[in-house]
Amino acid sequence: MHPDIYRLLIALAIGAIIGAEREYRSKSAGLRTMIMVSLSSCLFTIMSLKIGIDSPDRIAANILTGLGFVGAGVIFKDENRISGITTATTIWMTAALGMAVGAGYELLSMFATLIVLIVLIFLVYVQDGIENLSQARAYRIICPYQRKTLDHYEYLFKTYDMKVIRSVQHKTEHRISGRWILIGTAENHKKLTNYLLNDPNIQELSF
């Protein structure tokens, strides 16, 4: 088998393994995306070495520029947090693995793939444990305006061992709204939301 075809098959396998993990977690960049990223990076690197006589790194260097657009497409911001950063960095890493294969470092790329899988699969449990101990969550409360602010809710947050890192209040003609970002344990967030859901003074609540 020609060495370049052998390298393309390895790149395909690496992209399939990482892509299967992303597909299993229903991420925006899944099996086919990771395969194409790994394969294209490998092929670009092979061609760069073959035709780039004076500057063999020129084509390979542009792989990173092109991946910037792909990575940006999977990152999005919802109301409370930014999502897709892990998938974007996984695309970046998959391209690096494909480039390593294309440059002839097959063993190095396979070992790095193993490390990537450990990070993506097993460190999720460590991350979940850390988030249970300390997680940030945005709260938004709307109440009827009765010549008072919502500062008393900040005292309530402290009774649930919450740390307020940002707060904004906004008054309209008949209502007052407040938005806070709180840091605390998952259990304390649960207790706080249960209390707020049963507060008769709150007209609207989002968390």
- The arithmetic mean of pLDDT across residues 148-171, rounded, is 86
Domain boundary among 79, 99, 131: 131
Asked if residue 56 has pLDDT above 70, the reply is: no
Domain boundary among 131, 165, 198: 131
Structure tokens at 181: 């970002």
Q: 55 vs 48, which has greater pLDDT?
A: 48
- Strand partners of residue 143: 176
The answer to whether residues 36 and 126 belong to one domain is yes
The answer to whether residues 184 and 84 belong to one domain is no
Q: What is the C-alpha separation between 142 and 120, in angstroms, rounded?
A: 39
Looking at the 3D structure of the chain, how many domains does it have? 2
Max avg pLDDT among 1-10, 48-57, 104-113, 144-153:
104-113
For residue 85, the model assigns a pLDDT of 82
Asked if residue 80 has pLDDT above 70, the reply is: no
Max avg pLDDT among 22-31, 96-105, 126-135, 139-148:
96-105
CATH number, position 147: 3.30.70.260
Asked if residue 59 has pLDDT above 80, the reply is: no
Domain boundary among 90, 112, 131: 131
Q: What is the C-alpha separation between 91 and 21, in angstroms, rounded?
A: 12
The answer to whether residues 161 and 91 belong to one domain is no
The answer to whether residues 58 and 140 belong to one domain is no
Residue with tokens 């063993």: 107
The answer to whether residues 127 and 139 belong to one domain is no
Note the maximum CA span of the chain. Answer: 81
The answer to whether residues 97 and 185 belong to one domain is no
For residue 52, the model assigns a pLDDT of 64
Contacts of 35 (CB under 8 A, 6+ apart): 12, 15, 16, 19
If phi > 0 it is left, if psi is from -120 to 50 it is alpha, else beta; for residue 147 that is: left
The answer to whether residues 14 and 81 belong to one domain is yes
The answer to whether residues 111 and 10 belong to one domain is yes
Is 59:117 a contact under the CB 8 Å cutoff?
A: no
The answer to whether residues 175 and 84 belong to one domain is no
The answer to whether residues 71 and 95 belong to one domain is yes
- Overall pTM surpassing 0.85 (yes/no): no
- pLDDT, averaged across the chain: 85
The answer to whether residues 141 and 124 belong to one domain is no
The answer to whether residues 107 and 146 belong to one domain is no
Supply the range of the domain harboring residue 94. 3-131
How many CA atoms within 13 Å lie on the side-chain side of 69?
Answer: 4
- The arithmetic mean of pLDDT across residues 167-181, rounded, is 87
- The arithmetic mean of pLDDT across residues 74-93, rounded, is 75
